[in-house]
A and B are shown apart, each in its own frame.
Chain A
């Protein structure tokens, strides 16, 4: 894999599980692409290596939900590749998830950069 040029590649698995859906939709929104290329784009963005066992079940769910269209194209001298393109429903889902994810990350960012004591009810020291 020619990847992992970004930040530290080993984010906690539970963070990746939350982010990989919206990130994959975003990569596909950039134009028709296929599994291995998506994995590479995600790794290059700094998410670290995303295993086939994580990525392809996600792509299968997008396909079953009608969020992507698939088309088989010839590979460069190798086996054919399954290309994914967002459908109209997929485009709307991409917008929705992006907006929600931005709200969520803004919220967590605000919280963790604010003064810890503000507005919280603290247990009185006994």
Chain B
């Protein structure tokens, strides 16, 4: 799926690589839109392709040396914190709910404690290396797949291996704690969406040159985003209700 930036005189793959490189560098949406519109205007008049006139898109993005907008990079960290609350909240709610259903206590195993440690260490690593990681994900699709699958596999292995019971927790407070974490996750994600929404807009506004067209899918995902973990929790709790 190619991005539509309303720049008809620029090769779509060039425009996409240029936009993604500037995004990874934390450049604001307005500056990206203006840079794209200027490339389009030059190509239209010169009758040259973007690659002929400007060379490699990533080299050109780097040569422009546009400043990173201060609020963009920390936003990745904010997203990470809210995702950690979401994931933790989902799992805690589910085990709490399961224990409450069967009138038992929640057993915390060595594997569960180790997994929490791994998630925290992993999050810190991602926050520290956000920029090179993003660049790798954007350039090579399999990196995104590996980043999703490898940690999941590792967590499952650690959970299965560390089955020794450490302590137990009462069902209802665990359930309440999990729900609270989900509320924190959604609140953080909603605030994040409102404060760091930074669309790529060209100098002539929404559908002018340099403005990134949001597909229906992207708009839907953006609206759904903050509710993702609560929704997943409900979906995964349904089988527990049926048991």
Contacts and interface: CB of A to CB of B under 8 A. Distances in A.
Interface of A: 1, 34-36, 39, 51-53, 56-57, 60-61, 64, 72, 75, 78-82
Secondary structure class of chain B's binding surface, majority of residues: helix
A35 B59 contact: no
B63 A51 contact: no
Contacts of A39: 42, 46
Contacts, number: 73
Contacts of B208: 80
B204 A72 contact: yes
B120 interface: no
A75 B63 contact: no
Contacts of A1: 46
Nearest to A71: B203
21 contacts: A35-B41, A35-B42, A36-B42, A39-B46, A51-B55, A52-B60, A53-B53, A53-B63, A56-B60, A57-B60, A57-B63, A57-B64, A60-B64, A78-B45, A79-B40, A79-B41, A80-B203, A80-B204, A80-B209, A81-B41, A82-B38
A120 B103 CA distance: 99
Contacts of A79: 7, 9, 37, 40-41, 44, 209
Interface residues of B, number: 28
B53 A82 contact: no
B65 A61 contact: yes
Interface of B: 7, 9, 34-35, 37-42, 44-46, 48, 53-55, 59-60, 63-67, 203-204, 208-209
Contacts of A61: 65
Task: Give the residue among A34, A39, A53, A75 with the most B Cβ atoms within 10 A.
Answer: A53
B185 to A, nearest CB: 38
B55 A80 contact: no
Contacts of B34: 82
B65 A57 contact: yes
Contacts of B67: 64
Contacts of B45: 36, 75, 78
